[in-house]
Amino acid sequence: MAKASAKSKKYVYFFGSGKADGRADMKNLLGGKGANLAEMTNLGIPVPPGFTITTEVCTLYYKNKRRYLPELKKQVDSALGRVEKIMGRKFGNPGNPLLVSVRSGARSSMPGMMETVLNVGLTTKTIPGLVRRTNNERFVYDAYRRLLMMYSDVVMEKAAGIEPEDGHGIRHKLEDAMDKVKKAKRYKSDTELSVDDLKKLCDEFKVIIRKTLKKDFPDTAQEQLWGGISAVFQSWMGKRAVSYRKIEKIPEEWGTAVNVQTMVFGNTGDNSATGVAFTRNPATGENMFFGEWLPNAQGEDVVAGIRTPNPVNKAGKTEDTRHLSSLEEAMPKVYKQLFNIQRKLEKHYTDMQDIEFTIEEGRLWMLQTRVGKRNGQAAIRMAVEMAKSKLITKGTAILRVKPDQMDELLHPGVSPDAEKKALELAKGLPAGPGGAFGKVVFTADDAESWAKRGEKVILVRNETSPEDVHGMHAAEAILTAKGGMTSHAALVARGWGKCCIVGCSALDIDLQTKVIRVNGHTLREGDWITLNGTKGRVYKGKLDLTAADPEHNRWYKDLMKWVDQVRTLGVRTNADTPNDAAVARSYGAEGIGLCRTEHMFFEADRIKSVREMILSDTVEGRKTALAKLLPVQKGDFTGIFRAMKGLPVTVRLLDPPLHEFLPHTDAELEDLAKDMKVPFEHLNAKNKSLHEFNPMLGHRGCRLGVTYPEIYEMQVQAIMEAACELTKERVKVIPEIMIPLVGHVNELRKLRDLTVSVAEETMKKYKTRIPYKVGTMIELPRACVTSDEIASAADFYSFGTNDLTQTVYGLSRDDAGRFLPFYVENGILKEDPFISIDTDGVGYLMRMALEKGRKVKKDLKTGICGEHGGEPKSVEFCHNIGLDYVSCSPFRVPIARFAAAQAALKGKPGRK
């Protein structure tokens, strides 16, 4: 029965002549490329006819030990028949041969990962027929040499699992052979190769292929076709595809589709061309048709960066490309048609499209459209402009920008001052904006291993290929000598928001000796360079980078305005200094969710008093030391309150184990003994006695306040005195005093009483009243479980998800480095719980604490102040469980606001 249903199943989807079996929303089945080829066909856009073999076939292929179901061949033959009918040509027919491309196409685009073979169907038998039909022998042999190169590389070598050493692959050998001819004849470009050159080259290629791969090049159309189809499926499990999937978290079960499509030729002469374009500028977001083209070229030529491509239109010319002829000028009619098609596509898909086209003898064909990759700046600008022109809603605009893209905007650039004084080595194309410095490395493997040992590296290549992806990921930035704005390096870097410069032709890279000669300078492996990816400039040395400046970006500001309109979750910041507080406020923080008081203790002028306090044996001694600290702490609070005037400030009372503040050396201890006028031995013994076996679970948090109440008394007094004095100056202060590490309600009750009594006393002294709150951190499982008791003594909760994660997992974060990465790599944990909240475990306890707490106290204010507060998925979780706010480091505040808006748009009601 299962067999019968499998038999009737459709595995092949046809498209051509204005009608297609598939649609854009069938990406899962047809892959992105196939679904969009079908959609474009249905829209009446000229697409060469062909068919798509579904992703299911890929999955079945692997299930069936790399064999196809018999009905696949039938369905392929029948679809091929329809194509032949439309084209009036026959596949493998010597008189009038049809040629096809075999193209991969997964659900989401994997740039360059899966291989495409062009010109399939050219054999010694069909060559004469094609020559007769086109009357263009040069073109036919150019197509044949391309087939030989691509097919032997992709099908006969890579898909066969052969892994030659770097530089020894079949493709390299064939390219070397071609370069030799070009050099001997002093040709600058491939297009200068004559018919005779090409004929000889093709013969030579076949010999090299047989010698290297121990196999003849297949000489029947059918053999080539099925070899190509299998190669696409094989490459799904190839090393590079697997590693890219791992980085991008694409599941293996998805599989890839295969597209078989009639060849159209951009390489028949100067009336033909090929190109890649974007409906808007993917680097800046500007609403301007933007692209590159090459006359008399085929397929990958633009992307591979073999020749420097021309801009498609006049508006896209830069200083460096001004002299090149645009398509707009060279073929105005075709350009107009292309322009209209790209408008139509953007309107239809309501997003920026990345398109491929080929012009054969003046006739335009569309070969691909997909949602284009873009960097953060462009993503924001496009989303905002599309919403303003009503192409999309504001909500869609917010959802369309990814948190990582927002993050990019908040990334550093090269300091303009440093840049003025720096030694400029070369110019290139600005493919990925931002600034970065690093040490020069020459191979992807080096980039990866150097980065692993903590070095910052810049990967320098002639051009990049999918083999380099792991190294590109590890590098701070990427620099290539060849290639245009749509080259592999540019596409991949843009997708990751990485700084990147391509087409830096002044670089003369010698891989053998690992030396770069550039405009009279020499760079060696390990030398520092700095890239300005926004301007396309390469500098010698390590230049200063400047912080990002999103506040001067008007699209960012518009978007953030909309963000604040839709989000219901508050966003505060973790700040310990007036400066941090001011920065965070400028980024839109609505208060301080965590002000740690201990950082203030570490400063040189204070640490002595702190040590004195800790090491004294008596309450009196401690009080004397604390009295010295009081004015200092008060000063800190004054600064922070002032910076945050009118906004709530949550101050956490002393939390870490005391011994963290103690002297480390005998010299320090001696010095202190002198100051305190106690014998060194005595102090040394006391110092040792404070040692703890497990400080994370030791004498810290509220346990300090319970045993040494005078410490907390001083801190509360400092907070309240600062607040009272500012109130008298008419600065509005909203202090929230937070007791850390509470596990039992009695701890909180005792310290709440202490806090209230000091606060009341202080306010009486100043004859003023301030609305203050007393709350607690929730960071122990017991606090969550007994939250109904704890809430009775708390005005607010702040989830300390760092410690809560440690205690729920029974896992010390500082020791987790030995095994946690292994857990994540091997899928035991999907994610590091210190990065993204473990919603099932830690999250479950948070929900329980909220529910129990709010039952007792309906208006209990709740927030989170762990590192998770700035992580988009955790922010979404916090919104969904109904917290009032998240608190994160100042630089994460915009991301948190943004993630909160996305969470609200995704539909859950949140708190308000």
Binding site for ligand ADP (CB under 6 A): 48, 101, 103, 112, 116, 118, 261-264, 299-300, 356, 358, 367-368
Residue 616 interacting partner from Mg ion, ligand ADP, none (CB closer than 5 to 8 Å by kind): none
Q: How far is the CB of 354 from Mg ion (least distance, A)?
A: 8
Closest CA to 36 of 259, 232, 274: 259
∠ Cα 468 470 474 (to 5°)? 115
User: Site residues for Mg ion, window 352-391 (CB under 5 A)?
Assistant: 368
Q: b/e per residue, 208-246, with b = 16+ CB within 10 A?
A: bbeebbeeebbeebeebbbbbbbbbbbbbbbebbebbbe
Closer to ligand ADP by Cβ: residue 54 or 261: 261
Q: Which residues contact 256 (CB under 8 A, 6 or more apart)?
A: 31, 55, 58, 104, 105, 106, 114, 232, 233, 235, 236
Residue 48 interacting partner from Mg ion, ligand ADP, none (CB closer than 5 to 8 Å by kind): ligand ADP
Residue 267 interacting partner from Mg ion, ligand ADP, none (CB closer than 5 to 8 Å by kind): none
Matching residue, tokens 């020459």? 442
- Cα torsion 858, 861, 867, 870 to 10°: value is 100
Q: b/e per residue, 340-372, with b = 16+ CB within 10 A?
A: ebbebbbeebebbbbbbbbbbeeebbbbbbbbb
Closer to Mg ion by Cβ: residue 285 or 299: 299
Closer to ligand ADP by Cβ: residue 355 or 724: 355
Cα separation, 574 vs 576, whole angstroms:
7
Catalytic position from the list 411, 470, 488, 879: 488
Token pair of 259 as six digits: 């597209």
Closer to ligand ADP by Cβ: residue 57 or 114: 114
User: Site residues for Mg ion, window 110-149 (CB under 5 A)?
Assistant: 112
Residue 374's CB is within 10 A of a number of other CB atoms, namely: 29
In the structure, how many helices (H) and strands (E) does the chain have? 37, 34
Closer to ligand ADP by Cβ: residue 309 or 435: 309
Closer to Mg ion by Cβ: residue 240 or 892: 240
DSSP result, 650-714: EEEPP-S-GGGGS--SHHHHHHHHHHHT--HHHHHHHHHHT--S-GGGSS-THHHHHH-HHHHHH
Cα separation, 441 vs 478, whole angstroms:
10
Matching residue, tokens 């076939």? 57
Cα separation, 25 vs 641, whole angstroms:
54
Cα separation, 849 vs 465, whole angstroms:
51
813: which DSSP letter? G
SS3 19: strand
Q: How far is the CB of 137 from ligand ADP (least distance, A)?
A: 20
Q: In this structure, what are the phi and psi dihedrals at residue 439, rounded to the nearest 5 degrees?
A: -90, 140
Residue 358 interacting partner from Mg ion, ligand ADP, none (CB closer than 5 to 8 Å by kind): ligand ADP
Q: How far is the CB of 360 from Mg ion (least distance, A)?
A: 17
Stretch of 108-116, 331-339, 663-671, 796-804 contacting Mg ion, by CB under 5 A? 108-116
Judged by CB under 5 A, the number of residues near Mg ion is 2
Q: How far is the CB of 107 from ligand ADP (least distance, A)?
A: 13
Q: b/e per residue, 269-285, with b = 16+ CB within 10 A?
A: bebbbbbbbbbbbbbbb
Q: How far is the CB of 104 from ligand ADP (least distance, A)?
A: 6
Closer to ligand ADP by Cβ: residue 464 or 862: 464
Residue 910 interacting partner from Mg ion, ligand ADP, none (CB closer than 5 to 8 Å by kind): none
Q: Which residues contact 321 (CB under 8 A, 6 or more apart)?
A: 308, 310, 311
- Whether 488 is a known active-site residue: answer yes
User: Site residues for Mg ion, window 31-60 (CB under 5 A)?
Assistant: none
Q: How far is the CB of 105 from ligand ADP (least distance, A)?
A: 7
Closer to ligand ADP by Cβ: residue 337 or 393: 337
Q: How far is the CB of 466 from Mg ion (least distance, A)?
A: 8
- Whether 552 is a known active-site residue: answer no
Catalytic position from the list 500, 702, 865, 888: 865
Q: Which is it for strands 528-532 and 537-540: parallel, antiparallel or unpaired? A: antiparallel
Residue 157 interacting partner from ligand ADP, Mg ion, none (CB closer than 5 to 8 Å by kind): none
486 in contact with Mg ion (CB under 5 A): no
Q: How far is the CB of 264 from ligand ADP (least distance, A)?
A: 4
What are the catalytic residues?
A: 488, 865
Where along the sequence are the contacts to Mg ion (CB under 5 A)?
A: 112, 368
